[in-house]
């Protein structure tokens, strides 16, 4: 379907829209009243169909705007639906989570931070705010005030809504429940996974996030536009190139700023070096959790030269701070190019060897194939992205679908696998590492002469969307400006935010021994601690802890090795 056909499909719901705006930067902005939002969203997701990315709430003083962001990857088009909620006293809108499970978390978040009620939502417990946060205080509203003191009595809690919706099934507490977290090395910061188990089989899963909420969207509103990249690079140390890049691309979009060609190549090189070290890190951790510590030591040894190169280019091994609106802060000196290419050649040989070792290992085939399967349909409904999506046969990659930086003029391939299991995710990441090495070498050879930045004096009023393909998947940033020197709204979405909820589809029916590698297979950001909430019986005997889960995983690997070798 081309652009004209997409416009034709959208015109089918013209009677439910108040405005259609087609912009030359391949963006379509739709507007509707809140009462029509459900029907329009259902049409866009199921009938067109478009890929749901995220939703955003804007506090516009007299009313609220709920922005639903969709991508049509075949032509690299972003479609945003603005739904206006005019009742500021009791803002409410119909939930889209019943037909779009990937929207469940974001609607809960929008309720927590902006106070929007989502009618018929299957699970309106708090997601971001703590349970003892005062009722009626919504921190992202413009008129939000810090309460003088917390209310007396019991901590405020939103009741759990019992529902049979496929978007969520409440954990049955009558069965044994195994908690993984809140502290666990497989997870992005602190998260709690509660696994309902029947014997050794996982029958249900519930998740709780935001034990360490940093309030970055609120902080961004206090910073000048050129300060925000340093903030968003701290969202994730391993994705500290892609988040600032997505942000500056959003600003450059509505400000009409075109960076120099050399800056586009430098951005590409740094982002691909980041992808290489992130994927190698994941391979090492995956080996550790299934008992292949030799793979762990090899992988992390191969990763070190990549971090050294990033430090030589930007001054930092992580949180590079190199991207800026209008270009880059640091250039890649021409005299450094031969060294980078030589290091890429060395790493490529090592990764080819490691890839063959993994793909030819019969134990890994038995241990990882058929484990933690995420079906293609579930991947689409949960809106997963990156290697998690591509390993389930969802052929998406922002670098190709909406080319940015220098990706559109370089030769590389998008790696996909149809199986959706842990083995497929390993294959995708290993082969993507080789593709990233190829991109870096070609970009260095073609690196054009010239400056790496242009002067930007002022950011005009406007709004834009920027996304980049981080190692874990698509990072998305929405930015709105009123013409001042600070954003009035900045929505950030990391890939783990949409990948983690898919555990509701991939973990059910699996064995406890496979939980750790299933959780690790989406490569969520992880905490640097190794602690797990302990499960005890009534007599105080420890039934499960982190060490026993790791032991179960390794014992299963060893059992397979003895059976087939």
Structure confidence at residue 155 as a pLDDT band (50, 70, 90) = very low
What pLDDT score was predicted for residue 49?
Answer: 95
Please report the pLDDT score of residue 158 as a whole number: 41
Question: 242-255 vs 261-289: helix axis angle to the nearest 10?
Answer: 150
Res 385 pLDDT > 80: yes
Rounded Cα–Cα distance for residues 490 and 376 (Å): 31
Query: Looking at residues 363-372, what average pLDDT do you find?
Result: 89
Rounded Cα distance between 495 and 442, Å, is 27
Question: Residue 309: which pLDDT band, with cuts at 50, 70 and 90?
Answer: very high
Q: Are 202 and 508 in contact (CB under 8 A)?
A: yes
Query: Is 282:449 a contact under the CB 8 Å cutoff?
Result: no
pLDDT at 392: 97
Q: For the purposes of burial, counting CB atoms within 10 Å of the CB of 61, is it exposed (0-12), middle (13-18) or buried (19 or more)?
A: exposed
Confidence at residue 351, expressed as pLDDT on a 0 to 100 scale = 93
Q: Examine the pLDDT at 479 and tell me if it is beyond 50.
A: yes
Where do the domains of the chain lie? 3-141+154-170, 216-498
User: Cβ neighbours of residue 366 under 8 Å, at least 6 residues apart?
Assistant: 560, 564
What is the predicted pLDDT for the residue at 367?
85
pLDDT for residue 175 is more than 50: yes
C-alpha span between 518 and 15 (Å, rounded):
45
* Residue 90, pLDDT score: 93
Percent of the chain with pLDDT over 70: 87
* Beta strand extents in 186-273 (DSSP E only): 192-198, 201-208
Percent of the chain whose pLDDT exceeds 90: 59
What separation in angstroms does the CA of 521 have from each of 256, 284, 396, 501, 524?
39, 12, 18, 13, 8
Contact indicator for 275, 437 with CB cutoff of 8 Å: no
pTM, to two decimals: 0.87
552 compared with 418, residue with greater pLDDT: 418
Each residue of 19-46: pLDDT tens digit? 999 987 789 999 999 999 999 999 999 9
User: Average pLDDT in the 123-146 region?
Assistant: 81
pLDDT at residue 61, as a whole number: 82
Specify whether the CB–CB gap between 358 and 430 falls below 8 A. Answer: yes
Q: Which CATH superfamily is domain 3-141+154-170 in?
A: NADH:ubiquinone oxidoreductase Nqo5 subunit (3.30.460.80)
Backbone dihedral angles phi then psi of residue 476, each to the nearest 5 degrees: -130, 135
Residue 512's φ and ψ, nearest 5 degrees, are -55, -35
- CB 345: neighbour CB atoms within 10 A? 11
Question: Does pLDDT of 201 surpass 90?
Answer: no
Model confidence at 551: pLDDT above 60: yes
Residue-averaged pLDDT of the chain: 86
Residue range 463-487: mean pLDDT, rounded: 95
DSSP codes of every residue in 55-92: EEEEE-SSSEEEEEEEEETTTTEEEEEEEEE--SSS-E
Give the distance, in angstroms, between the CA of residue 198 and the centroid of all CA atoms in the same chain.
Answer: 31
Nearest to 417 by CA among 436, 402, 431: 431
pLDDT tens digit sequence for 229-271? 999 998 887 888 999 999 999 999 999 999 999 999 999 999 9
Residue 236: closest CA among 286, 183, 274, 284:
274
The runs of H, that is alpha helices, within 35-169 are 37-42, 104-114
* Residues 370 and 408: beta-carbon distance below 8 Å: no
User: Does residue 67 contact residue 60 with C-beta atoms inside 8 Å?
Assistant: no
> Is the pLDDT reported for residue 480 higher than 70?
yes
Q: Give the confidence band of 93 by pLDDT, cuts at 50, 70, 90.
A: very high
- Strands of 27-33's sheet, edge to edge? 19-23, 27-33, 77-85, 64-72, 51-59
Q: Give domain 216-498's CATH architecture.
A: Orthogonal Bundle (1.10)
Would the pLDDT of 156 be above 50? no
Question: For the chain, first and last CA: distance in Å?
Answer: 50
Give the tens place of pLDDT for each residue, 513-546.
888 788 888 887 643 222 233 344 445 554 455 5
Task: Report yes or no: 127 and 210 within 8 Å, Cβ to Cβ.
Answer: yes
Question: Lowest-pLDDT range, 103-112, 193-202, 368-377, 477-486?
Answer: 193-202
pLDDT value, residue 370: 93
CA distance 67 to 131: 27
pLDDT at 500 over 90: no
pLDDT of residue 159: 38
Interval 90-110 mean pLDDT: 95
For residues 241 and 555, which has the higher predicted lDDT (pLDDT)? Answer: 241
> What is the tens place of the pLDDT at every residue in 429-454?
999 999 999 999 999 999 999 999 99
Distance of CA 25 to the CA centre of its chain: 24
Q: What is the mean pLDDT of residues 398-407?
A: 96
- Can you give the pLDDT at residue 183? 64
HSE-CB of 351 using CA atoms within 13 angstroms: 28
Q: How far apart are CA 304 and CA 311, in angstroms?
A: 11
Q: Check pLDDT > 50 for residue 167.
A: no
């Amino acid at each position: 379907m081309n652009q004209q056909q997409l416009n034709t499909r959208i015109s089918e719901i013209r009677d439910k829209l108040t405005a259609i705006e087609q912009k030359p930067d391949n963006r379509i902005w739709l507007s509707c009243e809140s009462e029509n939002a459900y029907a329009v969203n259902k049409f866009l997701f199921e009938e067109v169909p478009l890929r749901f990315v995220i939703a955003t709430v804007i506090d516009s003083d007299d009313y609220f705007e709920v922005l639903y962001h969709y991508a049509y990857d075949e032509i690299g088009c972003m479609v945003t639906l603005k739904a206006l909620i005019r009742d500021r006293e009791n803002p409410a809108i119909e939930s889209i989570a019943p037909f779009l499970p990937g929207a469940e978390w974001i609607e809960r978040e929008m309720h927590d931070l902006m106070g929007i009620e989502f009618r018929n939502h299957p699970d309106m417990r708090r997601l971001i705010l703590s349970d003892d946060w005062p009722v009626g205080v919504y921190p992202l509203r413009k008129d939000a005030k810090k309460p003088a003191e917390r209310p007396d009595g019991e901590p405020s809690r939103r009741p759990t809504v019992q529902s049979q919706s496929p978007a969520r099934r409440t954990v049955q507490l009558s069965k044994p429940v195994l908690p993984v977290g809140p502290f666990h090395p497989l997870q992005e910061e602190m998260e709690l996974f509660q696994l309902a188990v029947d014997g050794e089989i996982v029958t249900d899963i519930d998740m709780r996030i935001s034990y360490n909420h940093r309030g970055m969207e609120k902080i961004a509103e206090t910073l000048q536009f050129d300060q925000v990249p340093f903030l968003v690079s701290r969202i994730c140390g391993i994705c500290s190139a892609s988040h600032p890049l997505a942000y500056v691309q959003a600003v450059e979009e509505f400000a009409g700023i075109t960076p120099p060609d050399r800056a586009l190549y430098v951005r590409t090189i740094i982002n691909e070096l980041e992808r290489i070290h992130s994927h190698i890190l994941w391979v090492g951790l995956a080996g550790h959790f299934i008992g292949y510590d030799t793979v762990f030591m090899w992988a992390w040894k191969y990763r070190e030269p990549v971090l050294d190169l990033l430090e030589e280019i930007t001054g930092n091994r992580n949180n590079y701070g190199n991207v800026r609106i209008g270009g880059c802060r640091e250039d890649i000196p021409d005299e450094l190019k031969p060294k980078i290419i030589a290091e890429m050649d060395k790493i490529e040989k090592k990764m080819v060897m490691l890839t063959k070792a993994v793909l030819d290992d019969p134990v890994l085939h038995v241990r990882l194939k058929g484990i933690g399967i995420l079906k293609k349909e579930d991947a689409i409904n949960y809106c997963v992205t990156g290697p998690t999506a591509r390993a389930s046969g969802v052929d998406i990659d922002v670098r190709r679908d909406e080319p940015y930086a220098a990706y559109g003029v370089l030769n590389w391939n998008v790696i996909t696998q149809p199986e959706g299991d842990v083995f497929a995710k390993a294959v995708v990441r290993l082969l993507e590492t080789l593709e990233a090495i190829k991109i870096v070498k070609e970009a260095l050879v073609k690196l054009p002469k010239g400056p790496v930045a242009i002067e930007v004096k002022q950011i005009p009023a406007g709004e834009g969307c920027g996304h980049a393909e981080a190692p874990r998947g698509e990072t998305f940033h929405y930015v709105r400006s009123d013409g001042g020197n600070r954003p009035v709204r900045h929505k950030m979405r990391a890939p783990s935010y949409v990948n983690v909820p898919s555990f509701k589809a991939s973990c059910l029916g699996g064995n406890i021994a496979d939980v750790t590698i299933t959780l690790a297979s989406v490569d969520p950001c992880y905490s640097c601690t190794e602690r797990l909430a302990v499960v005890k019986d009534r007599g105080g005997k420890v039934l499960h802890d982190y060490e026993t889960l790791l032991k179960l995983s390794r014992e299963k690997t060893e059992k397979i090795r003895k059976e087939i070798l």
